[in-house]
Amino acid sequence: MKVLFLGAAHQLSWPGGEANVARILRSALSERGMDIHAASLSRSATNQKFPHLSSATPMSVVDPRIVNLYRRYIQKTKPNVVLTCYDYDLSAFWGSILSGTPTIAQTLSPWPVCPKDDLFISTKQTRCEGPNLICGQCLARISENQRMKSLSTSSVGQVPLSVLSVMKINKVRRMISKLNCASAIVADNLFLKNKMVQIGYDPQKVHMIYNGVNANKSKSATDAHKPKTVLFLAYQPTEHRRTLKGCHHFVQLARNLKPEFRDVQFLWVGREGTQANDSFDTRSYIWKDQELQETYESCYIFLLPSLWPETMSYAAQEAMAHGKPVVAYDTGANKEAIIHNETGMLAEWGNIAQLTSHVRTLLLDEKAAKRIGNNARKLAQAKFSIEQMANNYEKLIEEIA
């Protein structure tokens, strides 16, 4: 069985969970005897019509030139199945469809249901149910173009922004139409699967497969004798993305707790720059997997203060595999991994006082932290194992080939 993986997430320079999942899945399927190949075109997420709009995907759904390059490559390599990951747009996917090859579209974030890939209303700083007539204001709010920003607050700007909203809604409709041509679509959590079906994706084609993490990497559960570290992992270069990840909430939580817990380290990994701060420490983004795993292993609590509806945090899954309690807001797919007071602690969305209280509880109660961490590792072994992920993908590939 020859399987070709396509998309930007397969580039060595791609950061974050998508790239980790891609590497792990390719390796796991290769060990099962599949002939695995991966390819991607080096390009940037440019927007030809609206170059200043800070959007996760271009205005167009596909780039005909890129589609043809992918299609010709697929026809040359002749795989039995193509699996496409995030690639800025649907060019890799559509190239596979046009080649006549059975195709699986992998969706590990909200890009199939949101023009900005985050289901977050920037103008209201709250979660979103899907594309609506506020999309234009959302896009203008996060734009680097000052003229577009000023339009969003003017009465004259409401008409063009409404037009932009309709364009973005139509873009999602075009994505739905094209993705429904897939042999199968894979979401990595039930939250995203249900959201996709809700807005028009074929329920017979959308499959849910949790991403796998190596639960055997952990040497031990939480060690009460080690110095305590509250770990926050976020590499987000823009203010909008930092808001989504709850970076400001981490900073406030650290300021709230540091006076009471002088010996506890509040560590933000992924922050650009190393400015000294009395409340928390920073480290640059960690590229080496071994170093990242050691960082998980050495922490006491993993903090996930994301305000957008997280689809499935791979970082949280890895922390759980290391036996660490995760403290997060109850949003998106978080409750699919975090059972309150059993495998982690969930705070009401945006309630920073409650989030802070949960972290304080675990810092004071080492026995509870160890119990929750042990439960988290058991859940990761049972629900998020690499073997289980590989089994599900192997079964799906064989069904459509």
Q: pLDDT: is 88 or 272 the higher one?
A: 88
Beta carbons of 40 and 131 less than 8 angstroms apart: no
Domains in the chain, CATH or no CATH each? 2-116+172-212+386-400 (3.40.50.2000), 229-383 (3.40.50.2000)
pLDDT value of residue 153: 53
Please state which of the ranges 177-191, 259-273, 365-379 shows the lowest mean pLDDT: 259-273
Average pLDDT of the residues in 351-377: 97
- pLDDT tier for residue 389 given thresholds of 50, 70 and 90: very high
Residue 355 exposure: Cα atoms within 13 Å on the Cβ side:
27
pLDDT value of residue 51: 35
Provide the mean pLDDT of the chain.
86
- pLDDT tier for residue 154 given thresholds of 50, 70 and 90: low
Q: Would you call 278 helix, strand, or coil by DSSP?
A: coil
**Is the pLDDT score of 144 beyond 90?**
no
**Is the pLDDT score of 277 beyond 80?**
no
Return the amino acid letter for 376: A
Q: Would you call 187 helix, strand, or coil by DSSP?
A: strand
pLDDT value of residue 37: 96
**Is the pLDDT score of 74 beyond 70?**
yes
**Is the pLDDT score of 46 beyond 60?**
no
Cα→Cα distances 14→23, 56, 118, 394, Å: 11, 15, 19, 25
Residues above pLDDT 90, as percent of the chain: 62
Single out the residue of 212, 221, 219, 231 nearest to residue 317, CA to CA: 212
Average pLDDT of the residues in 81-92: 91
pLDDT value of residue 72: 96
Q: pLDDT: is 14 or 224 the higher one?
A: 14
Q: Give me the sign of the Cα torsion angle 146, 148, 151, 156.
A: positive
Average pLDDT of the residues in 101-105: 97
Average pLDDT of the residues in 49-68: 61
pTM of the model: 0.87
pLDDT digits (tens, 9 = 90+) for 202-256: 999 999 999 999 877 666 554 556 789 999 998 877 788 888 999 999 999 999 9
* Tokens (6 digits) for 133: 């007539």
pLDDT value of residue 254: 96
* Tokens (6 digits) for 179: 């993705």
**R_g of the chain computed on alpha carbons:** 21
Between CA 54 and CA 57 the distance in angstroms is 9
Please state which of the ranges 59-73, 77-91, 143-157, 220-234 shows the lowest mean pLDDT: 143-157
pLDDT value of residue 14: 75
**Is the pLDDT score of 53 beyond 50?**
no
Residues above pLDDT 70, as percent of the chain: 87
pLDDT value of residue 227: 83
pLDDT value of residue 220: 52
Helix 91-99 crosses helix 158-179 at what angle (to 10 degrees)? 40
Residue 200 exposure: Cα atoms within 13 Å on the Cβ side:
17
pLDDT value of residue 52: 34
* Tokens (6 digits) for 175: 């994505």
Average pLDDT of the residues in 363-372: 96
- pLDDT tier for residue 58 given thresholds of 50, 70 and 90: very low
pLDDT value of residue 57: 39
Please state which of the ranges 12-21, 24-33, 388-397 shows the lowest mean pLDDT: 12-21
